[in-house]
Chain A
């Protein structure tokens, strides 16, 4: 089979894949729009209380349900830090924002299966907490 025939077949297969996931993709994009509109930075700030573990866990929860471009998590995280929220919370928040995705779960589940999705997301959740503490302790030691 020549390269051009293989490429044409591969393009067709790729578009079939795209068509296959299109309904789920559109649903997830619709949910992203809803979450982005409903959750404001002010709502996020009111959730932290000053306890390292609680704030880190809250950071993970809030980051996990939030959606949008990663730089938004840096901006919101930076503003939270300026207002006295700890590095524990802010680091966990940024990490959860970019590594966990509650609204993307159905698509991940349908493409990779339940076991893979659960393990990947649980590990991401656990490591958001571990890295939040490791980063904060390292920063404190270095400065």
Chain B
């Protein structure tokens, strides 16, 4: 019942945001049509880029829901997950591809099934390491900078996860507020 009302609220806020965005575009189009067109073209490029990844993430969500029961998620990523939970979150964050937007639904669902907030935060921060783009970073900033920054990102992801768990302690059953 509570979950249904949360979903309804999420959906309504989504529609409000969409209407506001359309209004911004209409205002921009009436004053600077070329700017609105360029922005719209860019948005379509982004949509085209994330659509296949989004579908892949949805498939991944379905596979997880099929093969791993909520109890399993709670065991691997929940309160008692320990070192394995951290390793899963950090490795998953580093290996995850595509825009953060496409990972929101899956992480939100894992969270609803008992995944710890700290692990979700660690996953998010570990995504700052973009494996496919590391050669570009090395090219611009050098190997030393890249190695040092990567090390600090992993360390920070873990520390932030620990801090989040402490700060959100007791919130686990009341997450949608």
Residues of A within 8 A of B43 (CB): 29-30, 32-34
Chain A nearest CB, measured from B78 CB (Å): 16
Report yes or no: A7 in contact with B66, Cβ–Cβ below 8 A.
yes
Report yes or no: A14 in contact with B160, Cβ–Cβ below 8 A.
no
Please report the number of residue pairs spanning A and B whose Cβ atoms sit closer than 8 angstroms: 206
Report yes or no: A14 in contact with B61, Cβ–Cβ below 8 A.
yes
The dominant DSSP class at the A interface is helix
Residues of A within 8 A of B164 (CB): 116, 119-120, 123
Chain B nearest CB, measured from A22 CB (Å): 7
Which residues of B136-172 are within 8 A (CB) of A?
Answer: 136-137, 139-141, 144-145, 148-149, 152-153, 156, 159-160, 163-164, 167-168, 171
Chain A nearest CB, measured from B164 CB (Å): 6
**A49 CB-CB contact with B under 8 Å:** no
Known contacts A75-B136, A139-B145, A143-B144, A33 near B11 by CB under 8 Å: no
Chain B nearest CB, measured from A50 CB (Å): 20
Residues of A within 8 A of B66 (CB): 3, 6-7, 10
The dominant DSSP class at the B interface is helix
Known contacts A104-B101, A107-B104, A110-B13, A18 near B140 by CB under 8 Å: no
Known contacts A81-B140, A135-B152, A28 near B101 by CB under 8 Å: yes
Cα(A15)–Cα(B121), bound, Å = 25
Report yes or no: A113 in contact with B175, Cβ–Cβ below 8 A.
yes
Q: Per-position contact with A for B1-39: 1 when CB-CB < 8 Å, else 0? A: 000000101110111011011101100100000010011
Residues of B within 8 A of A110 (CB): 9-10, 13-14
Report yes or no: B24 in contact with A115, Cβ–Cβ below 8 A.
no
Cα(A114)–Cα(B22), bound, Å = 24
Chain B nearest CB, measured from A118 CB (Å): 10
Closest to A130 in B: B156
In the complex, 6 of the A-B residue pairs with CB atoms within 8 angstroms, ordered by the A residue number, are A17-B58, A18-B105, A36-B39, A75-B140, A110-B9, A138-B148
Which residues of B are at the interface with A, using a C-beta cutoff of 8 A?
7, 9-11, 13-15, 17-18, 20-22, 24-25, 28, 35, 38-47, 50, 54, 58-59, 61-63, 65-66, 100-101, 104-105, 107-109, 111, 117, 120-121, 124-125, 127-128, 130, 133, 136-137, 139-141, 144-145, 148-149, 152-153, 156, 159-160, 163-164, 167-168, 171, 175-177
Known: A7-B62, A31-B24, A139-B144. 18 other contacts (CB 8 A): A13-B61, A20-B7, A21-B14, A27-B14, A30-B21, A31-B21, A70-B133, A71-B133, A90-B141, A94-B149, A98-B128, A111-B105, A115-B168, A115-B177, A119-B164, A127-B159, A131-B152, A138-B148
Closest 7 A/B residue pairs (Cβ): A33-B43, A78-B140, A24-B14, A23-B14, A10-B65, A27-B17, A33-B42
